[in-house]
A = this chain, B = another copy of it.
Amino acid sequence: MLQSELFTKTIKEVPKEEVSINSQLLIKGGFIFKVMAGVYAYLPLGLRVLNKIKEIIRQEMEAIGGQEILMPALTPKNWWIKTGRYNNFKALFKFKGLGDKEYVLGATHEEVITPLVKNFVQSYRDLPVYVFQIQDKFRNEPRAKSGLLRGREFSMKDLYSFHTSKEDLDRYYEKVKKAYFKIFRRLKLSAFTYLTYASGGVFSEYSHEFQTIASTGEDTIYLCEKCKIGLNQELAEKEGKKCPQCGSKNLVKKQAIEVGNIFKLGTKFSQAFNFTYVDKTGRNKPVFMGCYGIGPSRIMGAVVEVYHDKDGIIWPEEIAPFQIHLINLAKDEKRARKIYQSLQERNFEVLYDQRKESGGVKLKDADLLGIPWRLVISEKTGNKIEIKKRNKKEVKLVNFRELFNYIKIKNV
């Protein structure tokens, strides 16, 4: 894409109440636009990143049998009354419409997915069911000062599983855990992301969070560096600071961002909706449920918190808005244009900066946007191309063919 045609340009002023690194850099770079506290619009660059994150998550959900659906944001009050969460779930947005109809904005979707799946399941033959959606959630948060890390409206992948037995739920839960590790590997977050034990509620001893270490994270966790396992604050207070795996009390306190969680719901919601199935012997049995969340928009914020320097963002290649940032500094644009076309023909995603701006402005913008590979064409580069990786200082002069020793062709 031609940078001169890209909607959005880098901007200098960030709303002064935007104190988080992720929202500062993303707003400056023109990735997102602040609509109100905790509510952002995704601009072309930002939406490209968000969609790539969603697509990685989607692929891994489908790989474990998840079928995609899409539930609404508007949900009926009576289903929340049934589960007792209408008054207990503090962050619900509630309101009335015409005819005094009462709505709740979906903050999570157990209250919808349970009657929905019940509608299609009668017998053990209809189970298990694994369904997920990637959709926006709403939470009436008291504070929303961490940019994409804590939104009042935010994107969420929520997977729900339905089983004939606790054992079948346990088995699938471990499968989802593995899928989550794979997702964080693909997002290049696994070096900083720890499986973290949390309270399990009535049904299960533990649930698990995936916590990404970041000094700006809102959560506090206690880390066993040997086992690479964490303990969240609530559990640490309840059960003491002890590794759930090796028993070590030598834990390190860290700030972290909760980027995912998995939870065995057991029969809590199926009982609320009287959701049973008929087993092989003709008896009615309760359905067992699990729920599994990952927030794509929060991940986008977390990636920026982890991958940045004083000059801007450093996107991992997998989710960068473009793979290559081609910058022309030569007076004659001909050579750069030809290289741009050749790269596009080879299916690279290229942002091509042919703007009439100074070299200084262009290189500064490139650092802020954080596209992984920077290629510069100038009078100085002769018939070669200057190549630099955003996260390295080293600059090399190479010819066109040699480029592909560095940049791998990706099937987009």
A109 and chain B: residue at smallest CB distance: B41
- Whether a CB of chain B sits under 8 angstroms from the CB of A67 is yes
- Whether a CB of chain B sits under 8 angstroms from the CB of A33 is yes
- Whether a CB of chain B sits under 8 angstroms from the CB of A93 is yes
- Whether a CB of chain B sits under 8 angstroms from the CB of A120 is yes
- Whether a CB of chain B sits under 8 angstroms from the CB of A6 is yes
- Whether a CB of chain B sits under 8 angstroms from the CB of A131 is yes
A154 and chain B: residue at smallest CB distance: B72
User: Among the listed stretches A42-50, A177-185, A325-333, which one makes contact with chain B, having 4 or more residues with CB under 8 Å of it?
Assistant: A42-50
Known: A67-B6, A98-B140, A140-B98. A116 touches B74 (CB 8 A): no
- Whether a CB of chain B sits under 8 angstroms from the CB of A152 is yes
Quick one: which of B47, B73, B75, B76 contacts A138, CB cutoff 8 A?
B73
How many residues of chain A have a CB within 8 Å of chain B? 54
Q: Are B68 and A44 in contact (CB under 8 A)?
A: yes
Whole-angstrom CA separation of A43 from B153 in the bound complex = 23
Known: A69-B44, A75-B35. A11 touches B119 (CB 8 A): yes
Would you give the shortest CB distance from A351 to chain B, in whole angstroms?
13
Known: A74-B36, A95-B93, A120-B8. A112 touches B41 (CB 8 A): yes
Q: Are A74 and B42 in contact (CB under 8 A)?
A: no
Residues of B within 8 A of A136 (CB): 72-73, 136
- Whether a CB of chain B sits under 8 angstroms from the CB of A70 is yes
Q: Are A35 and B76 in contact (CB under 8 A)?
A: yes
- Whether a CB of chain B sits under 8 angstroms from the CB of A7 is yes
Quick one: which of B33, B120, B126, B130 contacts A119, CB cutoff 8 A?
B33
Known: A35-B75, A76-B35, A95-B93. A67 touches B7 (CB 8 A): yes
Whole-angstrom CA separation of A259 from B138 in the bound complex = 29
Residues of B within 8 A of A73 (CB): 73, 136, 138, 153
Whole-angstrom CA separation of A51 from B142 in the bound complex = 35
Known: A119-B11, A140-B98. A47 touches B68 (CB 8 A): yes
Would you give the shortest CB distance from A218 to chain B, in whole angstroms?
17
Q: Are A74 and B120 in contact (CB under 8 A)?
A: no
- List A51-71 residues whose CB lies under 8 Å from chain B: 65, 67-71
Query: Would you give the 0/1 interface string for A68-104, flagging 1 where the beta carbon is closer than 8 Å to chain B?
Result: 1111111110000000000000000111011101010
Number of copies: 2
- Whether a CB of chain B sits under 8 angstroms from the CB of A40 is yes
Residues of B within 8 A of A153 (CB): 72-74
Whole-angstrom CA separation of A36 from B39 in the bound complex = 26
- Whether a CB of chain B sits under 8 angstroms from the CB of A290 is no
- Whether a CB of chain B sits under 8 angstroms from the CB of A293 is no
Whole-angstrom CA separation of A164 from B152 in the bound complex = 35
Whole-angstrom CA separation of A362 from B400 in the bound complex = 58
- Whether a CB of chain B sits under 8 angstroms from the CB of A30 is yes
- Whether a CB of chain B sits under 8 angstroms from the CB of A129 is yes
Residues of B within 8 A of A142 (CB): 98-99
Residues of B within 8 A of A138 (CB): 73-74
Would you give the shortest CB distance from A139 to chain B, in whole angstroms?
9
Residues of B within 8 A of A93 (CB): 95, 97, 103
Quick one: which of B37, B39, B47, B116 contacts A33, CB cutoff 8 A?
B116
Residues of B within 8 A of A98 (CB): 140-142
Q: Are B69 and A42 in contact (CB under 8 A)?
A: yes
Give 19 A-B contacts (CB < 8 Å), ordered by A residue: A5-B65, A7-B67, A7-B69, A7-B120, A11-B119, A35-B116, A36-B76, A37-B101, A39-B72, A39-B74, A39-B75, A41-B71, A41-B72, A42-B70, A44-B67, A44-B68, A47-B69, A74-B138, A94-B95
Q: Top 7 closest A-B pairs, CB basis?
A: A95-B95, A42-B70, A41-B71, A44-B67, A36-B76, A7-B67, A97-B140
